Amino acid sequence: MSARRIPTGGLIDRSRTVPFTFDGKAYTGFAGDTLAAALLANGITLIGRSFKYHRPRGVFTAGVDEPNALVTVFKDGVREPNIPATQIELYEGLVAESQNRFPSLDYDISALNQLAGPLFGAGFYYKTFMGPVVGPLKGTRFWMFCEHFIRRAAGLGRAGYDKDPARYERMNAFCDVLVVGAGPAGLMAAEAAAKAGKRVILAEQEPRAGGAANWSGETIGGKPAALWAEAAAERLAAMDNVRLLTRTAVWGYYDGNNLAALERVGDHLAAAPKGAPRHRHWSIRAEKVVLATGSFERPIVFPGNDRPGVMLAGAAERYANQFGVLPGEKIAIFTNNDGAYRAAAALKKAGGAVVAILDVRPEISAAARALAEEAGVVPLLGHAVAGTAGKRLAKVLIQRFDAATGRLSGDVRPVEADCLAVSGGWSPAIHLASQAGRNPAWDDRLNAFLPPQPTQEWTGAGAFTGAMSTAEALSSGRDAGLIAAGKKASRAKLPEVAAPPLEAGPAPVFEIKAEGKAFVDLQNDVTADDVRLAHREGFVSVEHLKRYTTLGMATDQGKTSNVPGLAIMAGARGLAIPEVGTTRFRPPFSPVSIGSLAAEKHGHFKPDRLTPMHDWHVERGARMMEVGLWHRPMVYGEAGETVEQTYIREAATVRASVGIVDVSTLGKIAVKGPDAAEFLDRVYTNMFSTLAVGKARYGLMLREDGIALDDGTTWRLGEHDFLMTTTTANAGKVMQHLEYYLDVVWPDLKVHLASVTDQWAGAAVAGPNARKVLEACVTETAVDNEALPFMGIVHGGIAGAPVMICRLSFSGELAYEVYCGAGHGTHVWEALMEAGEAFGITPYGMEALGTLRIEKGHVTGAEIDGRTTARDLYLDWMLSKKKPFIGSALMDREGLIDTNRIRLVGVVSLDGRPLGGGAHIVEKGSLEELGESIGHITAFCYSPALSKYIGLALVKGGKARHGTRAFVSDALRKRFGPVEIVSHHFFDPEGSRMHG
Amino acid sequence: MLIPCPHCGPRDVSEFSYQGDATRTRPDPASTDMKAWHDYVYNRPNPAGPHREYWQHAGGCRVHLLLTRDTLTHEVQAVAFARAGLNEGAGKP
Amino acid sequence: MAEYSALSLLKNALTGNRDWKPAWRKPEPKPSYDVIIIGGGGHGLATAYYLAKEHGITNVAVLEKGWLGSGNIGRNTTIVRSNYLLPESVRFYDFSVKLWENLSHELNYNVMFSQRGILNLAHSPSQADDYIRRGNAMCHGGGDGVWLTPAEIARKVPGVDLSRSARFPVIGGLLQPRAGTARHDAVAWGYARAADRRGVDILENCEVTGFLRDGEKIAGVVTTRGEIRAKKVAVAVAGSTSRLMGMAGIDRFPIESHVLQAFVSEAIKPFVDCVVTFGGGHLYMSQSDKGGLVFGGDLDGYNSYAQRGNLPLVEEVMGEMVAMFPAVARLRLLRSWGGIMDMSMDGSPIITGGPLPGMYLNCGWCYGGFKATPASGFSFAWTIAKDEPHAVNAPFTLSRFERGAVIDEKGQGPTPKLH
């Protein structure tokens, strides 16, 4: 048994010894220990190094507010940096390492930084590193050179690059009452609300309910407080309408009483149970919230207040009472309030030697005096700590102190101590309330900020409200629970609390000014002098203070430093603390694993959209590509073929015989109702009311500002029944666009819309033999030119499945789009393949599809890119003059008809080399001397029909440049060469093939 | 943020698609008043306080709602169907 | 005021840092100024500095309703870049990058401009074409752009998920080497100090509540610290533009205010050396000198003047973070906050004289105001001093919406929430 472990007592399981390692050395602790407790029990007090000065640091707190003892944990084969040792529950085989030190924790070379301390005051970065104004390090180069080293010195732990193998989970939860914090107040609130029949969630960040009851040494209802809390928690856990979540930190308070919480499901276990996630992210919707988040003890700032061995008094008490660990052998107490006397008595009772109690106050309460007696010392009133000594605390330097003037006087006397327990008063944990609304209010009695008036549906209870005693916690907790349940407060008897009647308010002493570094923000190494320097330089508002000095910006978010920092600034400005202001707390209350927030999105945060024929494509060796959320075949490569060889083969086969392509991804919208034709006339630039039933028409839509939105064909299936197709990428956007107009702008139109994209499978069969393929397999209808003319529609069957066939062409060939129910997709596709076998039918992918459309000069998303007009694309023939339509009013504005706009052309490579999507077009220049851009290439291919590299481009002036020479200029891919600008209708401009 | 859809009940904001300012009136389709068109398409009142705005319940009934919501607090103060006709007989959310 | 240098730092260190002077004075307002700039953010302060330095106009007051730099200059993700598509944007933002390169010297204040590069990851052939078009636009416009293959990306940014099985496999990336990050607060403080030194009055806690008029002309402002008259009144209050315009009687304007959240992780040792953006969604991430990963994504997507957002967007951004850097799942989110963006109707800013006589307007910065700070201040000062725009801000008029000459980088059209 280690020297520091108390033989009996505490809430640990002494029957279970737990081995662990710290910095490679093996130790043991007990089940129920935190890493911090176990290290202290093993006599380890040096645990980390500070951020800036690399000063040795130990354990400062016992909870989530820990600024110093941050370690890296190794688990699941990955590293997790910056975890407070006070938050790590010991498990068998835990591997932890100290961080931010080199070569070792004990001898850290960067501790030399301290020698230059005065140079590194607040804001020193801003005043230097500007470097020379000439030479290779001019401009910002010198800073970047220095930054390289500064970055390596900064940071805390090191993260790994390996994928986190852990699983995370997201949970939506709904309840009538969410109680945050399961201390005495929270337990009472939860029970009161639950007994009133409400669905209750009680969330507690610690592994066990009870809060301060676990270490207060008080009794409730005649039982030790910890046991009372345990019994209360068990009662709650047994109720059907209560969900008790431990290890669950509520960290965010969002609009509409939406609270976010992190449950650490597996962190305390050597291996997570099968199926359990590491962390669970809770999004909780609560009708009412009870905030019973307690309070944080804060330190007094004095020189040397950061040495390992200095800790908060409440933490020292907790280590003794909850973990059975003495934080030191010779313990000194320094306080400005009564609370620390309870700690003194507890530490004495646990076997420690309390060597001194220093109290800045000239007088103390009788209760405090009695506790001092229990601790076996006469308190030194009107005294303060003026400094400390030792790498690990060895001596406390004490002096007389006048709380009224804040001055030290008399001799400096050393007191030998290896632990200094400090209390500067208590600040309610108002973080969630602050996130949810207004600024907090200062309380002169507690010298702390109290929660603001609620702007959302919450009530407070216990120390959170400034009611610091356990008796008050019980009564305010029960009342809050009842109020949240819509009941009246109760006068029924509460359990008796046996506790010393301590005065909660501290003396308003926040800092002891003396020679030496006195830290306000321990983790970011912000000293009291830094705060005063900020004041001197005019950074006096709270936010300036925070930003200039980094006060409160560390991983502990200033939980121990916020009020002392404000107090020192207030002192410097000669203002009261609330006049200096307070910063708004932001989510999260305590750090949250990013993995838990990603949860199921982990690695696949967007859905995969697959067509009905997806498996067929994959089986046929198609190389798939991303198109929006869809996976589509790029090419169906054969062994030894390059992508280019494949698409050329596929496209050539279409032109020579026949091919088939999966077009299921096209957006499909059923437009039905008596006003459907009128509606389409308004949303398309061209007429649809004149379209005959059984025919399709190509349509173009504009946005209200006159810019092209989308294009596609729409089929009239009946008088009041249309099937609209959109481009794959814009399907959702167009649907919303149409719905908006129907709901908001033209509510009088009787039209119903339904997205049917996923209901239909589609295959386009294209090529001179396309009709023959259909003739070989289509039943119940003829498909000859008479029955199925260009843009005609017929209904029939293929291999027993009903199909709808429209004769339209994107490739410029004789072509048909065959639609069937999605469930029949592969069946019909295979039948078409079989029917096409005799003609050497080939499936073709996006590359060949693109090639065929480029040869024809058809536009897609690369040209309709949200900036081009119908005129830019030479689609002005589609702009009806007979009717207004969306975009017609604004499409003729001067900026949109400027002749110098970039407009659609074709380009032909004159050097026989490929072009490139995104390459620019210039009139002159070279790769060394880039010319002025006159446009860019939107798409390119090798054209098997023309036997050359061609492309579509948007070029200033458009048609006016037909027949002229220019250059493709692709600085990114180092490609420069001559091109000819031509019409974008490269192939069969008359359309004789598709009409054939 | 919760939006009380009169059709589906209160739902999380993530189910909705914001469709913006609801105080604009589209000019008559045949209007050639360019100032009116410009104002309709580009200008917004953008108040700091109650804001009338459209939300589509895109992950639900797909209906457009007309909300009054405070842009300073995000509090939803009133909600109705954007299509006035649907509001007749609609129960309170 | 003492110059900042390594020497002055040393000298002051030896005297206990007792002799440092305030970075800027805290003067009382004068009854009148030649120019009043409403808005003590980056753009307002930069404008004041360049008015004094470039045009000798020093009888200037900057009015800030809260503490200096409390708007978006202190709430952004600190990215500086000029990787734009349209020539107007490339010209403007590249001009800005050039000013950034010498800014620390110019201000005698280390703004920590770090040209560590920005890498846009591309995940599909059409996205790659888009990015290459943009990269080529940058190069042809006088800027810099480089295309990286996945192998080159792996070397430059370890930790990016480059597996073929990723939901959005990375097929390449557009790097702008001259882009980078800067210390956002330092930019406000540096401009404030340099402007103050040239005689500009910086008036904090001075909220404008109305405008003074001489007939049609704007002749000054009513503030919480009294009436102040001025020959010229310039407005640079991105996030609150509509409110200020409302005070001037313009109640409809091509701007909406939206909330944008930003995030920072706990500080870790160097993890990523350049700014990285994820093309499978909308995410941008870099690492601060202090070690925190600083990142953000889309707008929450509704009009808001509350400087806080909601949970769905937080979850979306974290999902994208993990998709891009799978190791980041193990790290912890430390802090989030919200800023109010002035979203214009084409995603581009407005820097112009008007819309009322005596008034000048700088607004509509959407997400992108931080990087523009020097060029915005420079060109706005020019516009105020000369009553005509500088070449770089000439296209960024208010009338462009009427004329249909919008500068729509994203091709989203007249909607303020998608840019």
Query: Residue B51: its chain C contacts at CB < 8 A?
Result: 303
Looking at the structure, do residues A921 and A994 belong to the same domain, yes or no?
yes
Query: What does each C-alpha distance from C210 to C224, C229, C245 come to in angstroms?
Result: 10, 12, 10
**CATH number of the domain enclosing B11:** 3.30.2270.10
Task: Please spell the DSSP secondary structure of C260-309, one letter per residue.
Answer: EEEEEEEEBS---SSEEEETTTTEEEEE-TTSEEEEEEEEEEEE--SS--
Q: Is residue A606 part of a domain?
A: no
B44 vs C256, C310, C312: nearest CB: C256
- Six token digits for residue A612: 């009905």
Task: Tell me if B56 and A739 make a contact (CB, 8 A cut-off).
Answer: yes
**In a 10 Å sphere around its CB, with 0-12 CB exposed, 13-18 middle and 19+ buried, how is residue A359 labelled?**
buried
d(CA C368, CA C341): 9
What is the domain-level CATH number for residue A52? 3.10.20.440
Q: Residue A431's closest CA among A192, A591, A265, A243?
A: A591
Q: Is residue A861 part of a domain?
A: no
Cβ–Cβ gap B54/A455 under 8 Å: no
Q: Exposed, middle or buried, C18 (CB in 10 Å: 0-12/13-18/19+)? A: exposed
Q: Which of C18, C82, C30 is nearest to C61 (CA)?
A: C30
Residue A44 sits in the same domain as residue A8: yes
Q: Are strands A965-970 and A920-922 parallel, antiparallel or unpaired?
A: antiparallel
Provide the Cα torsion C251, C254, C258, C262; round to 10°.
Answer: -140
Mean pLDDT by 10 residues, chain C (419 residues): 79 86 96 98 98 98 96 94 96 98 96 97 94 97 96 96 90 98 97 98 98 96 98 97 96 96 96 95 95 96 94 95 94 96 97 97 95 98 98 98 96 90
* Cα C284-C133-A647 angle, rounded to 5 deg: 110
- The stretches in chain A having pLDDT less than 70 are 1-2, 601-604
Within 8 A of A166 by CB-CB distance, chain C residues are: 329-330
Q: How many CA atoms lie within 13 A of A560 on its CB side?
A: 35
Query: Looking at A112, A143, A163, which one is the last position of a domain?
Result: A163
Q: How many domains does chain B have?
A: 1
Look at residue A859 and tell me if it is in a domain: no
Nearest-neighbour CA in chain C from A204: distance (Å): 19
Tokens for A899?
């002749």
Kindly give, in sequence order, each residue whose CB lies less than 8 Å from that of residue A148, ignoring residues fewer than 6 positions away.
none
Residues 6+ apart with CB under 8 A from A30: A12, A13, A14, A16, A17, A18, A38, A90, A324
pLDDT tens sequence across A750-763: 999 999 999 999 99
Any domain includes B92: no
Residue A830: domain span: 614-665+759-851
Nearest to A943 by CA among A651, A718, A675: A651
Number of C-alpha atoms within 13 angstroms, CB side, residue A873?
27
Pick from A424, A449, A479: which residue ends a domain? A424
Same domain, A787 and A673: no
B77 belongs to a structural domain: yes
Find the domain containing B56 and state its range: 2-26+34-87
Chain C contact set for B13 (CB, 8 A)? 302, 310, 312
Hey, what domains does chain C have and what are their CATH numbers? 114-179+256-343 (3.30.9.10)
Do A8 and A64 lie in one domain? The reply is yes
CATH number at residue A194: 3.50.50.60
Cα gap A851→A644, rounded to integer Å: 11
Q: What is the ipTM of this complex?
A: 0.96
Residues in chain A within 8 Å Cβ distance of C189: 126, 548
CATH label of the domain that carries residue A917: 2.40.30.110
Dist CA A201 CA A974 (whole Å): 62
> Where would I find the beta strands (DSSP E) of C21-169?
32-38, 60-63, 79-80, 118-122, 146-148
- The reply to whether A237 and A145 lie within a common domain is no
Q: Are residues A637 and A775 in the same domain?
A: yes
Gap between the Cα atoms of C263 and C273, Å rounded: 18
Q: Are residues A91 and A133 in the same domain?
A: yes
As a whole number of angstroms, the distance between CA A834 and CA A828 comes to 10
CB contact under 8 A, A894 and C405: yes
In chain B, what residues touch C416 (CB-CB under 8 Å)? 20, 44
Q: From the CB of residue A885, how many other CB atoms can be counted at a distance below 10 Å?
A: 22
Backbone angles phi, psi at A353, to 5 degrees: -100, 115
Give the C-alpha separation, A925 to A878, whole Å.
Answer: 38
Distance CA A305, CA A68 (A): 12
The model's pTM: 0.96
The full DSSP string for A620-656 is TTEEEEEETTEEEEEEE--TT--HHHHHHHHHHHHHH
* A303 and A385 housed in the same domain: yes
Contact A723, A671 (CB under 8 A): yes
Same domain, A110 and A55: yes
- Beta-carbon separation of C334 and A591 below 8 A: yes
Task: Give the span between the Cα atoms of A563 and A440, in whole angstroms.
Answer: 12
**Residue A938 and residue A159: Cα distance in Å, rounded?**
42
A957: left (phi over 0), alpha (psi -120 to 50) or beta: left
Choose one of A812, A829, A851: the last residue of a domain: A851
Asked, for residue A439, whether it belongs to a domain, the answer is yes
Please, what's the b/e burial string for A7-32 (b: 16 or more CB within 10 A of its CB; e: otherwise)? eeebbbeeeeebebebeeeebbbbbb
**Do residue B72 and residue C414 have CB atoms under 8 angstroms apart?**
no
Count of the separate structural domains present in chain A: 7
Q: Is residue A884 in a domain?
A: no
Q: Is residue A629 located within the same domain as residue A765?
A: yes
Residues A685 and A775 in one domain: no
Cα distances (Å, whole numbers) of residue A962 to A298, A729, A909? 78, 31, 14
Residues A211 and A250 in one domain: yes
Which long-range contacts (C-beta less than 8 Å, at least 24 apart) are formed by A699-703?
Answer: A699/A724, A699/A878, A700/A870, A700/A875, A700/A878, A701/A734, A701/A737, A701/A886, A701/A887, A702/A869, A702/A870, A702/A885, A702/A886, A702/A887, A702/A888, A702/A891, A703/A886, A703/A887, A703/C413, A703/C414
How far apart CA C210 and CA C223 sit, in angstroms, is 7
For residue A929, with 0-12 CB atoms within 10 Å meaning exposed, 13-18 middle and 19 or more buried, which class applies? exposed
Which of A256, A743, A893 lies nearest to residue B64, judging by beta carbons? Answer: A743
Question: Which CATH number covers residue A645?
Answer: 3.30.1360.120
The pLDDT assigned to A630 comes to 95
Closest-CA distance, A580 to chain C, in angstroms, reads 12
C415 contacts in chain B (CB < 8 Å): 20
Asked if the structure places residue A103 within a domain, the reply is yes
Checking if the pLDDT of B69 tops 50, the result is yes
Determine contact, residues A245/A202, Cβ cutoff 8 Å: yes
DSSP H or E stretch at residue A478? helix A470-484
Residue type, A97: E
Residue by residue, DSSP assigns A515-545 as: SS-BEEETTTTEEHHHHHHHHHTT--SHHHH
Q: Does any domain span residue A885?
A: no
- Residue at B93 is within a domain: no
- For residue A256, what is the nearest residue in chain B, using CA coordinates? B1
Backbone angles phi, psi at A616, to 5 degrees: -60, -45
Q: How many angstroms away from the CA of A158 is the closest CA of chain C?
A: 5
Query: Is A890 a domain residue?
Result: no
